[in-house]
Structure 1
Amino acid sequence: MVLLPIVILLMGLGVPLSLGQLAPVPDIIRLGALFDGTEVTPLEAAFIHGINMVNDDRSILIRSRLTSAIDKVPQSDSFKASKKVCQMATSGLAAIFGPSVPSTANHIQSISDTFHIPHIETRWDYSFDRGDYAINIHPHPSSLSKAYADLVKAFGWKSLVLLYENEESMIKLQEVLKYPRHVDTIRLTVRQLYTDTDDYRPLLKEIKTSGATKIVLDCAFNKIEKVLKQADEIGLISDYHSFLITSLDLERVDFSPYKRSNVNITGFRMIDPASPQVSHYLKKWNYRAGDGKGEFHPLYSENILMYDSVRVVAKAMDDLAQIEGFSLNPISCRRSQPLEYGPKLAEYIRRVEYMGLSGEVFFDADGFRTDFQLDLLEKRRDHMYKIGIWTPDVGINVTLTQSEVEGQIVEKLQNKTLRITTSDTTPFIMKKALDVPKEALERMSFEEKYEGYVIDLVKELAKALKFKYKFHMVMDGKYGNVDPKTGEWNGMIRELQDQKADMAVIDLSITLERQSAVDFTMPFMNTGVGILYKKKAPPAPNLFSFLSPLSLDVWIYMTTAYLAISIQMFLLARVTPYEWDNPHPCKSDPDELETQFNVKNALWFGIGSFLCQGSDILPKAISTRMVAGMWWFFTLIMISSYTANLAAFLTAAKMDVPINSADDLAKQTKIKYGTYCCGSTNSFFRGSTIPTYTKLNAFMESAKPSVYTSGNQEGIERVRKEEGAYAFFMEGAAIEYHVERTCDLTQIGGLLDSKGYGIALPPDSPYTSTVSNGILYLQEAGILQQLKIKWWKEMHGGGKCTGSGGEDSAQLGLPNLGGVFIVLLAGMIASCIIAIIEFVWKKRILLQDENESLLAEMWGDFKFAVDLRASDTKPVPKEGSRAGSKSILNDGSHYGTNILEGDREGRKTDHPDDESPYATFNDNYSTTKSHKG
């Protein structure tokens, strides 16, 4: 180190200087290597290949040549290994490589420490206590353990099984074992592979039965394929299982048997095949694809580490040769003479910074390799692909974008036929009404035999995500509940856990308990618990129901008030002088006065005002106007009150129910209520802490006989059968469907809670997010709403009870308002009868001659009345007519021409302004008052 500044200074001054003169190096540098066994191994070939490539590289050790001293030792024979090293050292050794067996390697390390020979290892070694001359190019297990723990954390695994081979594996995976200490929700199970047999099927079957889907496998490379093959035989190689394999040589594993399987296999590698250094290495090796597999592949990690270790030692010796130079003295184990430049060479090896085939090579002061990078690999079809990197400082960094990840999942989904389990539940899945022979029915597909909302939903979802599917009915007909005795799930949930189905699509409520057992997508339909009840039978229609808004007493009082007001108006009009007028405005000094409020007109004024139609007769005096104003105010209030209450009284019978909410049910005991015994609705009441629902649950559990049912259909039938004595709690979507078709059923109040129907998938399914995105697309496109309208409002009698003619319509029928028509008809008939009476009476008075025919006179007038061609004027009878000479008044006035123009004596009639005999007749019936001159 002292010579280095001097050399630099002299070169800076331009002094010609030969490094060879200052740094002598041996022409031949021997590297010793011990390999286990007796045959040529791939590791030995990599060692020789590394030496040859260093000799071919003229940029390193240009004045020296590497040679190898290779020997074989039996495994675990430390005595022979030490003897071989001593034999190699007699000719001078720069470093010793190997062996791989830990017990032998530890003995060789002791020799290297004694004789100061750098000991280069490529095996994984968990020991933190290393000699001064021990250098291991293999990443330390503690760093690899951190990488595995970071991967588990990045993937968010909540439950995993650690499947290991021996005790050394526990050291390699110590960070994974510590992970549950930091995260309480992690469930870790540790299982060891059998040591006395290579049949691991019983162990793997136990893992499958436990429901575990995340497995960390740590075993020898040559056992990986056997473990995976046996796992495939029992169904652990599926879309829903993930394997983290700790071997750094996953690319050397044959995954062709699982090409069509979407099992998730991940791991790490050190060697990037796409790097320029690796390409050059393979070219020099004369490697052809398929020449070597597994441990015999040139890129097998131990082979690459051996190659990199040769390059690291060569580079360290080159650095030492350029600065100080070195020599290799012979070593005798008997004389305990160490290698003179051994400490310098070991120091330079630890200082090396080299970009090798296994990545950047750095060593710390203790000789551990640090700051290395691993590539994260994932299986696609039958190859491993890089999806990210790991570094000690940053951890896992996935290089795939979210769209790329989703694209891979969609690609997997498109190559898969999903098995969908479901159940016969209206209107989600219903049998079609088919009239075919039994043999033909058995040959028909599921979609030919069944129809419903679920089939349409899956069809639209498959169209959006481009997957294939196949339906089947759940074996036990249940949705999924935990057996209290065994603690195991049944129904569709069980089929998903056993991977007998890939989806469960039905009105399956998303609950916390189910969510812990399987995966759920986002809801495709939102609902809640409602109350189903039977409508009260409406009373028999009352033709005079329009009288209901007012009681009988009020009607009597109103009639009495009307008569009283009419009489009062008549009397006040006769009393007050301001209601008397001159009937002949042409006379300045009238002989008589007249009032318009006779009995008939007073009654007409009262009824007209009461019915808000007004009248052509209006009061003039203050007193009569006061009465009229009070009467109008009275009628305004009464008519407004009547109008406001009429609709309510006519529809009150339809809305009359004894309960209106869950609180009403909880406050009474007359009406029983229950739920389906084994569903999410019952679980809602059992788990609720709301006082009202707790009270309802306590009543249902203690009721005798039981109020629980074996299904929703039984609950519906019980509601209808017990005629208002039973209410049934069920989910709002089902209530809505049945209320649309069974008109005597109704929903009481609103929903008691809020829940959703989701598609269930096996635990940790890779397709959960993708299917959720598909449901979101259907929702945004309005397809879910269209399907809801189709199967709830349209198909199979939908809308029956909400149509224009349904019982639930707000329109009133003839039975409710028939009395109004009866009153109208009665008034019309009464008016006709009165008109006939008036007609007969008037004609009888006018006809004084008994010889004249009354019927003939009446018939003539009747024909004139019904003759549509006749005008609106009627001729006055002439003198020559049958009634022209008859007297109709006691004072001598005549009916006819002489009445209008004068009698035979030339006297004027008393009523010159009258236009017809009818006016004269009416004058005799008017109320008059004479004034004396």
Structure 2
Amino acid sequence: MYFSTKWLQYFPFLSGVCILLTELCFAGDKVNIGGMFVDGEDDVLNNAFQYAIKSNDVTRFVPIIQSLPLRESFKAVKQVCRTVETGVVAIFGPTNYELSGHINSLCSALEIPHIETRLGTVAENSFPFSVNMHPDYVSLSQIYVDIINYFNWGDIFVIYGDQNELLHLQEVLTVPVSSETRMVIRQASKENMRDVLKEGFRQNYHHFIADLSLEDTHYLLKAALQLGMINYEYHYILTNLDIDCLDLEDFKYNFVNLTSFRLVDYDKAHTKHILSDIESYERQHRVKIFNTTGILKTETALMIDAVSVLSYALQDLNRSAPFKAANLSCDQERTWNHGSSLYNCLNLVEYKNEPGRDSGGGSIIVEDENHIGLTGKIHLENGRRTKFKLNIMQLTQNGLIKVGDWKPEVGINFTLPVEYGVGSARFGNKTLIVSTTLEPPYIMLKKPPDDQPPHTGNDRYEGFCIDMLKGIAKIVGFTYEIRLVADANYGVELPNGSWNGLIGELREGKADLAVASLTISYGREQVIDFTAPFMHLGISILFKVPKREKPGLWSFLNPFAREIWLYLFASYVTVGVSLFLLARFSPYEWYRPHQCGEDEPDKENDLTLANCFWFAIGTLTQQGSDIDPKALATRIVGGTWFFFTLILISSYTANLAAFLTVEKSVSPIENVEDLAKQTNIKYGSLGSGSTMTFFKDSKIETYKTMWKEMNKHKEQVFAKSTKEGIQKVKQGNYAFLMESTMLDYTIQRDCDLMQVGGLLDSKDYGIGTPIGSVYKDSISMAILKMQEDGKIQQLYNRWWRNSGTCTKDSNKGGKKGTPLGRDNIGGIFIVLLSGLAIAVIVAFMEFTWSAKKRSNLDRQSLCQEMGDELRFAMQCHGSSQRTALRRDCSGCNSTDDLEMVGGEVLENPTNGMMESTFIPHSHSHRH
């Protein structure tokens, strides 16, 4: 009795030794497990499977690897049967839906656990021995519903790839929606992806859920970017758990609201330890397990965890009753005796990612009862994973960041400010410290009303940036405290590598935001982050308005350019000579001053050369003359000259008023090139800031020359503040290089100052934040919202235009009239030349017709007659001509004779006789 009681005292110890010996014996045995992979896939999943086996220190697994043909299911099943005959205790994979269904059926018949790492379907729940490590699709669907409800979506556009993916969204499709909520469901592939997105764009949908493969998801984002649907107005929920494997560089700067989820928590210390071990394994065995972006895909991580879960399940099974490996064949109707027990053990494994810490709060202590894996806590019910934790990821300018997590039993838990959409950021109760510096009209001290106490707190300040900050705070939802920077500088890098001013405040953590006229530059972007720009500007030149020049003695010549005056003189001479020549050519310009008188000249021509020039000058001065052209050709010349002078004199009169009433400002410089070429006028900028840095770092020769000149006289030309620089300009002989917005504000209030030339560069103002700030994206989207609504422009008009005292041109001395040149009135010269050409043609026709009639009477050829008439016309001193035929009557009233008048024969009506005395032409004595 004593003996037995004594041994009972050692029973717990002996039991533990027996269990330990059993486990050691089990650890010494080799256990076969099957790995089924699809032929043609990459080896990442296979490599991860073998890594998990080799790194497992609990069970000695022997992998039986099979590469299954994708399109030959019968052949694939045969290969699985050969694997079963090796005595495997479980089969892993494959990832293909169709092949997996066949293997599920086979394993269920043989009662061998079939372990998978892909997202399952509804039909697969009917297989009793199927174990899926991937989170259950019903649970995953619930997180999409929670996100929709959290942000209160009013429209939902669902995009899915195939029917199985649509089943994953069944909870979304049954979301209770109000009558105002819209929902559209569309199946998409690469071929119609753009058309599907265009439909959503046309119907004004802004909230999308995409359940697509990783490749199609990336194609969706690229198509949306091309269609202008990647910006803060759109919100995408991407259900694929491997979004962080994509290159999102093209999308992260557009402020798009992109929500995704991740099963592997890379922030856990033990996760980092496993990933480091995988990297060592990759280098040692020269295989690839991570993808090209250095991220572990979800299926890969699940495969590693699945092998560990099987190992612990076999350990638990062996503790209760030692088992033997399966000895089965597809040709026999036998099942594995221990298959059901192993399946139950798999469902009982508590595989957690919740380790404790040591008493000192240091490194994580991993104990056997809290096995740590890559995908967090694993809890299986009937082979389905129902308890897990997903990281909620948000796309920012720094890439995807974790903003919270989600558990089926808890729901959404945001751990960082959520920055989806304008106005939805949540900053909690934190008061942001805003650092700034005084600079009218951006930041100014507010003057207190009379008989009132001075302002305190943020009410002490006013200006453009203050009003903008109020608008941003209202949209985003945060409170702030404004503090002036101690040294009043914007920020430049010091020789020791530190920064002063606003930039230094952000780097040292003294401020959360820097709100001022802070220029976004490359150097500053290296040490802080900037929001979206709120104002675009450039460097320009501020100069004193020069003295105005009064009109000179000969200013009446200014309305026309010199070339126009020369053209006018040439036109005057041309018209006078042309009129004279055409008058002598045309027979209809000659007239008979008296009807009788034998010795008097029969015809005269008033258009002598002197009279033609008098006619032209009289018409030009709008005074007229007593000389009138009579022939059609000469009247065409006169009419064209009338029109010419009408336009010319009207243009002269209109332009003369501008020249005589406006005083011209004579500026010694017109642009930056003029400034750089001279040395009499000094020029400079602020002694520290982006303007000085621009000239210092510029590679353009003109600006390099200017920097050398400024640096040479830096004590004289650099200003400590903008106010000091403006004062230097007002003193004269100095040009201040400053940013255009500040320059515009200055010349609106001081009419003695003006802008010279255009912008020298292009830059932007932005709000500065520390690197990695969670507030940056929300503030950027608020700025974009204010710009779209026109509020930024309204603030600009308020602080620049509405409060100014100078008109647009008052500080430029008025605009001097521009002399009219060939481009302005050249057309009237063309009209004049055209009229002259027409007149010449008409005169030639008149001349030819008259010569033809004379040739018949003179009994000589047309050419000879035309020659005689041409020689007479060229005698510039003659002004009259005698008739070709003389009448016999002696009385003035006799018309009985036949006479030749202008080449026509007149018959005597009394005696009916034709009496004519032919007198040959004697052109030599025509007078």
The TM-score, its normalising length taken from structure 1, stands at 0.44
The TM-score, its normalising length taken from structure 2, stands at 0.44
Larger radius of gyration: 1
